[in-house]
Amino acid sequence: MKAQDIVKRITNEMLYDVIDKRTETLKEGLSDLRQDVSELRHEVTELRRRVEHVETRFDTLQSEINRRFEALDQKMDQRFSAIDQKFAAIDQKFADLNARIDQLYTAILNGRK
């Protein structure tokens, strides 16, 4: 074998060794990357689950708040209605009193004539 063939053979073997090592490194890197992607998918799935839970809780709270405001609105309407009825009764008493005063005043005036 010539020296040139030996060098060529050694160079090829070294090149194949470098390629094999680089391939192995890439395979390990790919394996690590796949593991990272798998972990990220799990984390994303967990985050989605948490977001759905928060959205559900928010919807529940919003419904509860709306229900309570509706109940409060109904109570206020009932109380305002009761107050309006009381004022109407007071207005009627004043109207009756004014009518009675007018009757008495008319009677007094008619009595003087």
Percent of the chain with pLDDT over 70: 96
- 3-class secondary-structure state, position 92: helix
pLDDT of residue 113: 60
> What parts of the chain have a pLDDT lower than 50?
none
pTM as predicted: 0.51
d(CA 44, CA 57): 20
pLDDT tens digits, one per residue of 72-100: 999 999 999 999 999 999 999 999 999 99
Pair of tokens at residue 36:
């990272």
H-only helix segments in the chain: 3-112
Query: In this predicted structure, what is the pLDDT of residue 1?
Result: 66
In this predicted structure, what is the pLDDT of residue 19?
Answer: 87
